[in-house]
Amino acid sequence: MLEKILELRSQSKSIAQIAAECGLTIGQVKYQLQKERAKPTETSAQKPTPNESLHRQEREWRLPTFYGRDLVKVMAQGPTVLFVYWEITWPRMRMVASYLQADYRHIQKGLRIYDVTDRIFSGQNAHSIQDVHVQEDAQSWYVRDVNPGRTYLVDFGLYDHGRFCPILRSEPVETPRNTKATWGEPLIEPAPEGNSPSWFENFSSYSLYMKSNK
């Protein structure tokens, strides 16, 4: 019946004429037409292509770019490459910039990589230290030319007049060796626990929240 109603409607016939030819009331004809208009239509232009469907699924399952918390993570990408990613919230960045009396948008950001192999790291006893400057808007960085079979810690921080001011420290990570292990020898040794970085002298991360007794 609906097909006949639509056919007659395409002939520019009135609802009354359609009702008369189909043996229906005017209300029944209007109901059928309204129900047809309410159906979702998907034209070929609106229909997503396979690539668009794949991108849509990727967007739905993609991990969030930001988590709203301060963190620095480091992963070994190979015997000589580390991948570091971080998130520093604006409240913490502004707090540090206020202490440095500088615009946080223009302070040089960077990473400090410590070789702490077989060390209980005190902040001063690393085998070696490597500094890497990163771009202003970067949220991750590849650190190359590290040594295989070594344990590393990474600090994210700011450079103030050439001096590195650490903000957050990663957990230790060990790069894989580039030689074959002997029988029964572990491929990766457990990394020692690292200490949290201390702020340079006379600065406390709680200073903004302390109330004066005066």
Across the range 169-181, mean pLDDT stands at 87
pLDDT at 28: 77
pTM above 0.75, yes or no: no
Instruction: Tokens 């990474």: give the residue.
Output: 154
CB–CB of 162/133 below 8 Å? Answer: no
Interatomic CA distance for residues 11 and 195, integer angstroms: 82
pLDDT at 209: 42
Across the range 97-115, mean pLDDT stands at 83
Q: Is the pLDDT of residue 97 over 60?
A: yes
CB–CB of 111/134 below 8 Å? Answer: yes
Q: Is the pLDDT of residue 159 over 70?
A: yes
CB–CB of 3/33 below 8 Å? Answer: no
Q: Read off the pLDDT of residues 161-173 as tens digits, 9 standing for 90 and up.
A: 778 888 899 999 9
Q: Is the pLDDT of residue 86 over 80?
A: yes
DSSP β-bridge partners for residue 141: 84
Q: Flag the least confident range among 79-83, 109-113, 126-130, 200-204.
A: 200-204
Give Dmax over CA atoms of the chain in angstroms.
97
Q: Percent of the chain beyond pLDDT 90?
A: 29
Q: Read off the pLDDT of residues 44-79 as tens digits, 9 standing for 90 and up.
A: 455 566 666 655 555 554 545 555 678 899 999 999
Instruction: Tokens 């190359």: give the residue.
Output: 144
Angle between helices 26-37 and 2-10 (to 10 degrees): 90
Across the range 116-135, mean pLDDT stands at 92
Q: Read off the pLDDT of residues 17-47 as tens digits, 9 standing for 90 and up.
A: 887 787 777 777 777 777 777 666 544 455 5
